[in-house]
Structure 1
Amino acid sequence: MLVSYKWLQDYVDLNGTSAEDLAEQITKSGIEVEGVEKLNEGLSGVVVGHVLECEKHPNAEKLNKCLVDLGEGEPVQIICGARNVAKGQKVAVAKVGADLPGNFKIKRAKLRGEESNGMICSLQELGIEGKLVSKEFAEGIFVFPEDTPVGEDALALLNRDDQILELGLTPNRADCLSMLGVAYEVGAILGNEVKLPEPDAETASEQAADYISVTVDAKEDNPLYVAKVIKNVKVKPSPLWMQTRLMAAGIRPHNNIVDITNYILLEYGQPLHAFDYNRLGSKEILVRRAKNGEVIVTLDDVKRTLTEDHLIITNGMEPVALAGVMGGANSEVQADTTTVLLESAYFTGGVIRKASKDHGLRSEASARYEKGIDPARVRAAAERAAALMAEYGGGEILAGSVEADSLDVKPAVVSVTLEKINRILGTELNSTQVEEIFNRLRFETVEDNGTFTVTVPTRRGDITIEEDLVEEVGRLFGYDNLRTTLPVGSSTPGHLTAYQQKRRTVRSYLEGAGLYQAVTYSLTSEENAAQFALENRAPVQLAMPMSEDHSVLRLSIVPQLLEVLKYNTARQNDSIAVYETGAVFLSNGQEDLPEEHEHVAGAVTGLWENHPWQGEKKPVDFFVLKGILEGLFAKLGLLGRIEFRQAQLDGMHPGRTAQVYLDGNALGFVGQIHPTVQKSLDLKETYAFELDLKTLLEADTPALQYAMIPRYPSITRDIALVVDKEKAAGELEKIIVEAGGSLLKEVHVFDLYEGERMEEGKKSIAFTLKYLDPEKTLTDEDVAKAHDKVLNAVKEQAGALLRG
C-alpha cells in the first residue's frame, strides 16, 4: 500500500511528525514501512509557464520556438520538441539552473541556431512513470488547467513535494488497504483524532428506484449490493489534485468518473464500479453465478469465457461485469456518458479470488475483496463517490439508493482480563492505561473488575480472540517498552537424537569423500517425478502450482541433482560431485496426506582425480561410486549386511547398475545414468545413487568395540577362481567368508581377467585372504585346514575352479 503523507494529513493531524518519524513509529507498532520516497528527490526550479507564442523552428521541422512567460521579468524563448505544445497553454517549465531526475541540470543552450532558456517538461521528465500518465499527455508535455497562476511552483501543484510511505502489509491487516484505515492506525499510534469525510450533496426529486431495480440470486456471494444513479454528468478530466494523488498511489488517471471510483477505493478501501446507464441495455441489475460457456468482453477488450464458479453482474440478460474484478466493455463510461449507475457492493473473498485466478486478472478491487473489506463502508463509500461526481462532474444525484441486502455482519465482541494482558506481556499496566489504548484504537470498551469487554469495529476483521487484543495493547504500548526478561523454570539441555547424529555422520562422510552438498526443490514436473523412484506410486499433485515445472512433489532426488550437474557443466564446471539428503513424497490417495521418506542421493560426472603435475587423470566410473557407498556403510557399521546385485532400472544403464540390499531388503541403487538420459541433459558419463536414508539410519548396529593390535603375524593366501561370467564377486566373497571360519579376517578382490586365454563364458576373479589368530602364531597346517574349507566351499556352492 502506497500512502501519501500529504493526503494522510486530511484525516489526522501530523504536525510535528515528519514522514521519516511516522514511518519509524508505524514500523515499531507492527506494520513494516518498507521505504519512504521523496517525490521531489533531485527536482528543483520548475514553475508554471504561459506559452505566449508558438511557431515552427526556422531550421528544424520537428522543433517549436516558444515565447514563455514565467511570471518573473521578461518572457523567455524556449525551444520545445513536443508535438502537443501550443499557444495559450499553461505548462511546467524547468528554468535555467533547475535540476531534473537523473542528475540533469538545465542550462542555456542553442538548438539549431536558436537560443533556448529552459525546458518545457513532460510528466515523465519530472520523474512520473509513463504508465501513470494519462493518455492525453503520455506522448507530450503536460498542460495545466487554464486558471493555474503563472509562476507558481509546478512541483507543488503536481504533488511532487509529497512523500510516499510504502507499507508492507500482511494479509491480516486488510484494514490498512485504505487511507482511512491507515488514518485510524496512525491516529491510534499518535493519540490524535481521526477526521472522516462528510459527504454533503443535494439530491434531485427523482427517485433512483424509478431508474433501476436490483436482484441478487447468489446471496451467499453477494449479501449486499447498493446502486445509485447520477444524471447529467459531464465526463472530463478530474481535478489536478485528484489526478496527482492517484498517480502517487500507482493508479493512472482516466476521466473524472473513473478517477472518482478509484479515489474512493483508495480512500475507503471499498471498490466501486461506474456503469454507463444508457449503455446498460435495461433497467435491471441481476447478480448471479455465470453459466458454463457464457462470455463477457471486459474493459481490457479481452473475450473471457465464464464458468459457474464466477460471479457476474448482468442487465437481466447478459453480463456487464465480472463481479469484483473488472467491468464489461459493453457498459463502459465514455466521453458521451451522461447518466452513471454507481455500484458499491460486498462480495465474499472466495468467489472473487477464484475469478481473479482463473482469468489472470489481479486488480486493486479484487485484491481488497480477496482479503476482506469493511461491510460498514459499502453505503458510505457510495454516498461519498456520488457527492464527488456531483461536485466535479456536474451531476444530479437521484434520491435514495437501490439495495439488495441480506448482509448479517455484526461487530465482534471479545473479552480479556487485565491479569492476562500483564502476564503475557510481562507488564504492570493498570486498567486506565489499557482502556486508553482501546480508546485510541476507537474500540468501544466496557471494563468490569479487571475484565475488558471490547466491541471490535467491522473494519478490524483480524481481531477475533483475546490474544488479538493482547497484541493490540502490546504494540501500542510499544514493544520497545516491554521489559527484557529471562525465562524462569527448569530446562533440559538440548542434544541430537541418535538418528540426527547418524545423519550428520552421513553428511560429514560424503563431504569428506569429495561430494558437495546440494539443496534442490521438492517440487518437480510430472514428467520427471517418477524417474529413478525407489517406489512406484502416483505423484502428489499441487492444487495451485506456480508452473508446470513445479506442479508435483518429487518421488526421487536424482532428477534434481542431474539438473544441478547440467547447470554446472553448461558453465564449464565439467567435473562435479554432489549429494543431497531430503524428503521424497509418496502418495496414499487423494484423501490422505502423503508419506515423507528421507532419502540420500548423489551424482558425479567428469574426472574423479586430476593430477596435472603427473599427468594422471581418472574419470569417474561405477566402482568409484560403489567404493564411496561401501565406505559409508562401513562407517555406519553395516558393510557386512550389504549386498550389491546387478539390476535393470528405468533411466539407468542396464549393464552398469546395481540394486543395493540391506539384510536382504531393497535399500536403493547405484549405477550409470542411461546414455539417452545423459544426452538429453548434455551430460558426459554420469553416475548416481539413491538410498532410503531413514531405513539405513534406523538399522540396528552393534556397539563399537575396540580390539588390541595383534601381537602375532598374519598369513595371506591368494586364489584365482574361474567361474561363469554371470557369477558376482560379492557372492563368491560371501561364500569365502562363511567357510573361512574365525581365522579368516579379511577378503579382498584384487584382479579380474576375461582375456582370450579364458574358456568361452568364463572369467577369473582373484582374491587375497588374510588369516590371523590373535592368541598364537599360526602354523602352515592351521592355515591349510581353513584354506581347504574355502576352496571346497567355492567349488561346491559356486562351481569355481582354481586357475592354473
Structure 2
Amino acid sequence: MNVSYRWLSEYIDLSGIEPQKLTEMMTRGGIEIDSVPSRNAGVSNVVVGYVKTREKHPDADKLSVVTVDAGTGEDLQIVCGAPNIAAGQKVPVAKVGAKLPGIEIKKAKLRGVESQGMICSARELGINDKLLPKEQQEGILVLPSETEIGRDILDVLALSDHILELDLTPNRSDCLSMLGVAYEVSALTGRSLRLPDPGQDLYAAADKTSDHISVRITATENCSLYTARYIKGVKVGPSPLWMQNRLIAAGVRPINNIVDITNYVMLEYGQPLHAFDAKKIAEGRIDVRLAKPGEALVTLDDQERKLEPHMLVIADGEKALGLAGVMGGANSEVTEDTTDIVLESAKFDGGTIRRTSRQLGLRSEASARFEKEVDPSRVREALDRAAGLMAKYAEGLVTEGIAEAETASFEPAVVRLSLDRVNGMLGTSLSSLEAETILTRLQFAAVSAGNDVWDVTVPTRRGDMTRDVDLIEEVARLHGYDEIPTTLIEGASTAGSLTKPQAIRRELRTLLTNAGLQEAISYSVTSAQRTGLFPALSGEDVKPIALAMPMSEERSVLRTTILPSLMEAAAYNLTRKNNDIALFEIASVYHSDEEALTRLPQEKPRLALLLAGSRRAAGWNRPAETVDFYDAKGLLETAFRRLGIEARISYEAAQPEGFHPGRTAAIKLETERGAETIGYVGQLHPELQREFDLPDTFAAELSLAPVYEYADNRIEYKPLPRYPAMERDIAVVVDRGVSGGALTAAIEASAGELLESVRVFDVYTGDRVAADKKSVALALVYRHAERTLTDDEVTAAHGNVLARLEQSFAAELRK
C-alpha cells in the first residue's frame, strides 16, 4: 500500500510530524514501512506556461519554435521537439536555471534559433509516465486548461510529497485504505480525525433507483451484502488533476472520471467499487450468482476467461457482467458514450474471491482487498461517497435510494479485557486510566464491567480483533514496545529436547552422510505413472492423491514411494557425467485408499537410499570397484546396529515388482506382533534401469514408523574380555536354497551361552560339490566371560551345532 503524505494530511493534522518521523512512529507501532521516497526527483524552477504560438523551425523538420507565457511578464521563445505541442496548451516550462533530474536548463541555440527554456514531458519531471493515459506517454505533458499560468509545477502535480510504502502483514487489511492509515496515525499520535463527507444528500433526480435497477443475491453463502446506485446523465471525461495526482501517487493509472472515482474511493475507504454502463444491463436486473458450467467472460483486459461453477459473477437476466470482486466484464464497460451508470458496492466472501483470483491468475487491487475481507460498515458509505463525486465531477444525477440485497448482518465484536491480564502478559504496571486511554485512542468503545475489567466493542474495520490477546497486543504497541520493562519468566519451564523420531532422523542423517552418501530433498509430488512403480512399497490398495491445481502433469499427485524421486535425481546426475551416485532421503509419503478424499491421507515417514557406479575409483595400484547388493545392505545393517535393533532385523529373499527378482531381500523387523516386512533392499529391475538410463543400481526403502517404535540407541558399555576365546571353523554342504542367515540363526539357537559370534566367511559352488549343493564355511567363536573354557565344553557345544545343522538342513560336514 502506497500512502501519500499530502493526501493523508487531509484526514489528520500532521503539522510537526515530518514524513521520516511519521515513518519511525508507524514502524515502532507495528506497521512496517519499507521506504519513504520523495515524489520530487530533483525538479525546481518549473512553472505552468501557456503556448501562445507554434511555428515550424526554419532549419529542422522535427522541431517547433513556440512562444510561451510563463507568468513572468515576458514571453519566452522555446525550441521544442515534441510532436504533440500545439498553440493554446498549458504545459510545464523549465525556465533558464531550472533543474530537472540530471539536467540543468541553460540558454541554448538549436539549429541557429535561441531557446529560453524547455517544455517538459512527464518522464523529464521524474513522473512514471506508464501511469499516465496513453496520449500523455508520448511527447510533452499537457495540463488542464484551467491550470493557473506561472504556478509552480510541484504544486500543480503534487510533487512536493512523500510516499510511505507500507509492508502490511495479512492481518492488517484495515490499512489498505487511506482512512485505515489515518485511524492508525490518529491512535499513534492522539490527534483527531477529519473524515470525508460520504455525500448522502445527493438526490438531484426526481425518480428512484428502484425504478431502474433491482438486485438479487442467489449465491447467498458467497455474498452477504450487495448495494447499487443509479446515476443518470454522466459525462465521461478526464478526472480532476488533483485526483489524477493522488491516483498516480498510489500507483494507479488514471483512465476517466468514472473509473478514477471508483479507484479513488477504493483507496480512500478500502472498499472496491465497480461502475457498469446501465444501458448494457439487460432488463435492469442484477443477480449475484455462481458461474454456470461452461460459462465464459471477456474481462476488461480483453482476455476470455473460462469460468467454473465455484466462481462468483455479477449477472443480468441474460449474461455475466463481471467477475465479482476481481474484474469487470468488457460487455458492461464504461465508455465515452456512457450516459447512465450503475454503481456497485458489495461484501463478497474473501475465500471465494481468493480462489477465483488464484485459479485465473488474475490479481487486482479489488481482489487484494476482498480476499482479506472488507469492512461491511463501509459498503454503503463508500457507495455514497463515490456517487457524490460522480455528481460533482461527472455532472451525474443521483437517483433516490439504494438498490440492495443482504443475506447476513454484521455486528461489532465485543471482547472482555481485564487489566490484570494486560499487565500479566506484558509485564507492565499500567493503570486503569492508561489502558482506557489507549483503547480510546484506538476508538474502541470500552464499557466497565467492574474491577478493572472492560467489555470492549471493536469497530468492524478491525476484523483482526477477536480475542483479548489481540487487544493486549494493541495496548502493547501503542504504549510502546520500548516502554515494556524486562521481566523474569514466570511459571513452569520445560527443557527443550528432540523427540525420539527427531533424534533418530538426525542420527540416520549423520550416519549416512559420514558413510559418503548425499542427502536429497526432492518434490513430494510426482506423476501418476511413477506412483505405480513399486506397489509392494506403496501398497496394493493405495490410490494416488491428485492435486487440485498441479504445476504440470509430472507433478500432479502426491508420491506414495520415495525411490522414483531418487531415480530421477540419479538419471539427472548421470546425464551430467556424475557417474558415481550415492543418495539418501528421509521424507514422507502419502497414502489413501479413497479415489475422492473424504478424510485426510496418511503421512508415513520413510528412508530411501540409492547407489550406482563405483564404490571406489580406479587407481594406479587397484581396479575400480562397483557397488553391489551388499553395499546397500551393509549401510542398513550399520544403521540398524546404531539404532539398537540389529538383533530384531532379518532378511528374506523376495521378488517385489520394480526390483530384480534374484537380487532383492525383504527387510523384516521382529515385533510383538511377529515378524513384519518394513521395506526392501536390492537391485532395481533391469527394465526400470533401462527406462531411466541407469547402470546397475541398488536401492532400499523402508518405513520408519516401526523403527521409531523399537529403536533404542542408548550405548551399552561392556568390559573387555579377560579370558581367551576358542575358535572353530566348519564347512557344511547344504542345498543351494538354504540361506546363510538361516544357518547362523540355527547355530545361535543351538550353541548355547558359550557362543560369542558366528559369521559366514566363504561360499563355494563348483566341481567338488553337487550341482544343486553349495559349501558354506562358518567361523564360530566361543568364550566364557568369567573363566577359561575347556576343550570338552567347546566340543560339546560344537557337537550340538553340527547335530542341529544336520537335523534342520541335512547338512554334511565337508572334509
| TM-score of the superposed pair, with normalisation by structure 1 | 0.87
Q: Distance in 1 between matches of 2:100 and 2:692?
A: 51
Aligned to 2:645: 638
Aligned to 1:309: 310
Aligned to 1:515: 517
1:585 match: secondary structure: strand
Distance 1:608 1:214, change over 3 A: same
Q: Decide whether the 8 Å contact of 1:437 with 1:473 is kept in 2.
A: yes
How far did residue 721 of structure 1 move? 4.6
Distance 1:84 1:723, change over 3 A: farther
Q: Distance in 2 between matches of 1:570 and 1:93?
A: 64
How far did residue 642 of structure 1 move? 1.7
Distance 1:636 1:94, change over 3 A: farther
Q: Distance in 2 between matches of 1:65 and 1:672?
A: 83
Report the residue type matching 1:247 in the other structure: I
2:605 corresponds to 1:598: yes
Q: Distance in 1 between matches of 2:469 and 2:526?
A: 40
Q: Distance in 2 between matches of 1:33 and 1:511?
A: 44
Report the residue type matching 2:749 in the other structure: E
Q: How does 1:554-633 map to 2 (within 5 A)?
A: 554-565=559-570, 573-587=578-592, 590-610=597-617, 617-633=624-640
CA deviation string 1:227-277 (max 9, x = no partner): 223233221222233223223323222111111111111111111111112
CA deviation string 1:701-760 (max 9, x = no partner): 698654443344434444455555444332333334334444443333334455677754
2:446 match: secondary structure: strand
How far did residue 651 of structure 1 move? 3.3
Aligned to 1:418: 419
How far did residue 632 of structure 1 move? 1.6
2:179 match: secondary structure: helix
Aligned to 1:665: 676
Q: Distance in 1 between matches of 2:147 and 2:153?
A: 10
CA deviation string 1:515-555 (max 9, x = no partner): 34444554545444455435442244556666666654443
2:339 corresponds to 1:338: yes
Q: Distance in 2 between matches of 1:792 and 1:375?
A: 89
Distance 1:522 1:326, change over 3 A: same
More divergent stretch after superposition (700-709 vs 236-245)? 700-709
How far did residue 21 of structure 1 move? 2.7
1:376 match: secondary structure: helix
Q: Which of residues 770, 778, 781 is equivalent to 2:781?
A: 770
List gaps (5 residues or longer) in structure 2: none
More divergent stretch after superposition (474-483 vs 565-574)? 565-574
Distance 1:776 1:552, change over 3 A: same
Count of aligned residue pairs for this structure pair: 800
Q: Which of residues 443, 457, 460 is equivalent to 1:458?
A: 460
Report the residue type matching 1:198 in the other structure: D
CA deviation string 1:541-582 (max 9, x = no partner): 556666666654443333444455456556665544343334
Q: Distance in 2 between matches of 1:612 and 1:95?
A: 81
Report the residue type matching 1:661 in the other structure: K
CA deviation string 1:5-35 (max 9, x = no partner): 2221121122222333323322322333333
More divergent stretch after superposition (39-48 vs 2-11)? 39-48
Aligned to 1:132: 131
Q: Decide whether the 8 Å contact of 2:546 with 2:558 is kept in 1.
A: yes
How far did residue 382 of structure 1 move? 1.7
Q: Which of residues 681, 691, 694 is equivalent to 2:702?
A: 691
How far did residue 198 of structure 1 move? 1.6
1:37 match: secondary structure: coil
How far did residue 197 of structure 1 move? 1.1
Q: Distance in 2 between matches of 1:329 and 1:500?
A: 56
Q: Which of residues 459, 472, 475 is equivalent to 1:473?
A: 475
Q: Decide whether the 8 Å contact of 1:79 with 1:115 is kept in 2.
A: no
How far did residue 169 of structure 1 move? 2.7
Q: CA RMSD in A?
A: 3.9
1:435 match: secondary structure: helix
List gaps (5 residues or longer) in structure 1: none
Q: Distance in 1 between matches of 2:699 and 2:790?
A: 46
Q: Decide whether the 8 Å contact of 1:49 with 1:68 is kept in 2.
A: no
Q: How does 1:256-267 map to 2 (within 5 A)?
A: 256-267=257-268
2:371 match: secondary structure: helix
Distance 1:774 1:99, change over 3 A: farther
How far did residue 461 of structure 1 move? 2.2
2:346 match: secondary structure: strand
Q: How does 1:144-159 map to 2 (within 5 A)?
A: 144-148=143-147, 154=153, 157-159=156-158
2:171 match: secondary structure: helix
Q: Decide whether the 8 Å contact of 1:206 with 1:399 is kept in 2.
A: yes
More divergent stretch after superposition (297-306 vs 9-18)? 297-306
Q: Decide whether the 8 Å contact of 1:32 with 1:168 is kept in 2.
A: yes
Q: Decide whether the 8 Å contact of 1:221 with 1:351 is kept in 2.
A: yes
Distance 1:517 1:307, change over 3 A: closer
More divergent stretch after superposition (2-11 vs 193-202)? 193-202
CA deviation string 1:677-714 (max 9, x = no partner): 45555655443322222312322769865444334443
Report the residue type matching 2:190 in the other structure: G
CA deviation string 1:756-804 (max 9, x = no partner): 7775455554433334445555566655554454445444433555566
More divergent stretch after superposition (528-537 vs 464-473)? 528-537
Distance 1:573 1:292, change over 3 A: same
Q: Distance in 1 between matches of 2:772 and 2:336?
A: 92
Q: Distance in 2 between matches of 1:513 and 1:309?
A: 53
2:300 match: secondary structure: coil
Q: Decide whether the 8 Å contact of 1:577 with 1:602 is kept in 2.
A: yes
1:738 match: secondary structure: helix
Q: How does 1:392-541 map to 2 (within 5 A)?
A: 392-405=393-406, 408-449=409-450, 450-496=452-498, 500-529=502-531, 531-532=533-534, 533-536=537-540, 537-541=542-546
Q: Distance in 2 between matches of 1:547 and 1:116?
A: 61
Distance 1:767 1:86, change over 3 A: farther
Q: Distance in 2 between matches of 1:21 and 1:388?
A: 33
CA deviation string 1:387-445 (max 9, x = no partner): 22222223333344333455522223333232332223222222222222122112233
2:508 match: secondary structure: helix
Report the residue type matching 1:169 in the other structure: L
Aligned to 2:183: 184
Report the residue type matching 1:466 in the other structure: D
How far did residue 98 of structure 1 move? 8.0
Q: How does 1:323-402 map to 2 (within 5 A)?
A: 323-402=324-403
More divergent stretch after superposition (213-222 vs 237-246)? 213-222
CA deviation string 1:629-668 (max 9, x = no partner): 1112222332233222232333333333321111221121
Distance 1:784 1:130, change over 3 A: farther
1:172 match: secondary structure: coil
Report the residue type matching 1:273 in the other structure: H
Q: Distance in 1 between matches of 2:636 and 2:97?
A: 74
Q: How does 1:21-60 map to 2 (within 5 A)?
A: 21-40=21-40, 53=54, 55=56
CA deviation string 1:580-607 (max 9, x = no partner): 3343333375444333433333333444
2:702 match: secondary structure: strand
Report the residue type matching 2:698 in the other structure: Y
Report the residue type matching 2:683 in the other structure: Q
Percent identical residues: 48
Q: How does 1:726-745 map to 2 (within 5 A)?
A: 726-745=737-756
Q: Decide whether the 8 Å contact of 2:76 with 2:116 is kept in 1.
A: no
Distance 1:308 1:610, change over 3 A: closer
Q: Distance in 2 between matches of 1:716 and 1:641?
A: 26
2:335 match: secondary structure: coil
Q: Distance in 1 between matches of 2:211 and 2:449?
A: 52
Distance 1:311 1:614, change over 3 A: same
Aligned to 2:270: 269
Q: Decide whether the 8 Å contact of 2:210 with 2:401 is kept in 1.
A: no
